[in-house]
A and B are shown apart, each in its own frame.
Chain A
């Protein structure tokens, strides 16, 4: 009888030790999660309400497809030349501004089959330096370096990100409007404009409130 009671007490103590010792029970992924490769347009498990890769991909793809249908591009005589003007960020999220236009440019270049051409105005310093070297005879040149061959822009492509945020006890909600424009460099006409809007919301754990 005594042995039986002793066994019960011991089992109880054992259960207490187990419950106390196994601190990782109930903890999801206690050992972490190995790195997995994802598609850029896929939403990961690490997410906030700001601008993320899947938003960038969705927005820039939409803009690239839309630009190709613009009459001035589709029916252009020759190859229209476009300069990228930095995107203006009016949201509360700091962003890599060049990433948007670079992605649109890359999408356009790959989808347009050379219907449009982009001018590397961000490289002008290096290009002008090269031209000066050629003019000075310090490097060889396959054409007359004194002839101005840098192309002028037919259009400017620019964009703006605007946001609206609401934060209450129920959570945080962010709405972002991505708008892009193609501007005629000669007349300042806005020949194309399109936009995409994304809204996200979430609520942090009570421990952070």
Chain B
């Protein structure tokens, strides 16, 4: 009977070790097409990364002019982040000592959530729903609230400007929103809004910020600055040129919020890790010393065992920050509102360097058909958009 006891216990242990509540199903092989790979990652990847892949894939779709696909992805992602209030088991686990922050469902840092709403707002306006677009810009601005220094709270120029422009076009008063946009302007000042402008050109360029971790236990979330050879853009249409200076900088937005509540939790985890590590060392060394003497052997083994437990706890503690990033965001956002006659037009968007010189090979050509009043034509262009496009 005794000889079969241990195999049974071992078998049970192995069974329970395998008892995992989540399984990672390996994704499909990479195809090299970011849209297909993104969709595969959404379908087959870990659920906690679903929103991240939806964000990334939506931007790829937008840059290819596949706006219906982008809409679908962003709607699903925004439904998730809009319902983050209340109890969340993955978030609770992420706060625990023995799970990393990356255990939680990714919804993004505030600048990432802002961009999800921003893109969805553009798509609503494209569909002739400026009020729903405005709703998205307002939700985006709210995501940027709650900063440590109030002067950086909800300080995106474009979000307030577009809020005001949508209100103006809906026959309302956008003056408060325009005043806020003007007060927040750092890189350049937005133009006076024109209710007669019927072509809205949303332009973005550069490579946005990405995250990395620092600190003894990688518990400090940091942001790597974005890069951009382009510093401005220009739009050419109907033999007229319109200069576009950037209004918002996503690296600035990412780095001016102050600390997160989660940073304190990670600092506590790192402190626990260090303390249990030290306690473990002391316990092991002193326990083993005591164990060499016959009269203190049992006590020594007990202290050593406690030290070992402490070392295991320290090794198991996971204070590292979550560095999953929406890594295909732009660095700079800009915008132009033009008045064009109804009918077909060819729009060329060029990107300019710091010296206002044309950056070769980056021009984008978009063919548009401007509808009759009162509908607006919305155009979206990135320095990474495919060209030519018909929008």
Whether B312 and A16, one on each chain, are in contact in the complex, defined by CB atoms closer than 8 angstroms, is: yes
Interface size class of A (residues with CB under 8 A): 35 or more
Report A112-140 CB contacts with B as 1/0, cut-off 8 Å.
00000000000000000000000000000
Is A152 on the interface with B (CB-CB < 8 A)? no
Is B85 on the interface with A (CB-CB < 8 A)? yes
Whether A28 and B131, one on each chain, are in contact in the complex, defined by CB atoms closer than 8 angstroms, is: no
Is A30 on the interface with B (CB-CB < 8 A)? yes
User: In the complex, what's the smallest C-beta–C-beta distance from B299 to chain A, in angstroms?
Assistant: 14
Q: Which of A21, A47, A168 contacts B86 (CB 8 A)?
A: A47
Whether A94 and B136, one on each chain, are in contact in the complex, defined by CB atoms closer than 8 angstroms, is: yes
Listed residue (B91, B104, B120) with the most chain A CB atoms within 10 angstroms of its CB? B91
Is A92 on the interface with B (CB-CB < 8 A)? yes
Q: Which of A17, A21, A88, A207 contacts B88 (CB 8 A)?
A: A207
Whether A205 and B91, one on each chain, are in contact in the complex, defined by CB atoms closer than 8 angstroms, is: yes
Whether B135 and A205, one on each chain, are in contact in the complex, defined by CB atoms closer than 8 angstroms, is: no
Measured CA separation A115–B87 after assembly (Å): 47
Measured CA separation A191–B88 after assembly (Å): 47
**Interface of chain B, helix or strand or loop or mixed?**
helix
Whether A205 and B84, one on each chain, are in contact in the complex, defined by CB atoms closer than 8 angstroms, is: yes
Tell me the count of chain B residues lying within 8 A, CB to CB, of chain A: 48
Is A147 on the interface with B (CB-CB < 8 A)? no
Binds A, one of B52-60, B93-101, B182-190, B358-366: B93-101
Q: Which of B13, B104, B132, B142 contacts A17 (CB 8 A)?
A: B13
Q: Which of B93, B107, B172, B305 contacts A208 (CB 8 A)?
A: B107
Whether B92 and A205, one on each chain, are in contact in the complex, defined by CB atoms closer than 8 angstroms, is: yes
Is A150 on the interface with B (CB-CB < 8 A)? no
User: In the complex, what's the smallest C-beta–C-beta distance from A207 to chain B, in angstroms?
Assistant: 4
Within 8 A of A (CB), among B189-226: none
Whether B19 and A24, one on each chain, are in contact in the complex, defined by CB atoms closer than 8 angstroms, is: yes
Whether A48 and B82, one on each chain, are in contact in the complex, defined by CB atoms closer than 8 angstroms, is: yes
Measured CA separation A20–B309 after assembly (Å): 13
Whether A206 and B265, one on each chain, are in contact in the complex, defined by CB atoms closer than 8 angstroms, is: yes
Whether B21 and A95, one on each chain, are in contact in the complex, defined by CB atoms closer than 8 angstroms, is: no
Pull 10 A–B residue pairs with CB atoms less than 8 Å apart, ordered by A: A14-B9, A22-B16, A24-B22, A92-B142, A202-B85, A202-B86, A207-B88, A208-B104, A208-B107, A209-B262
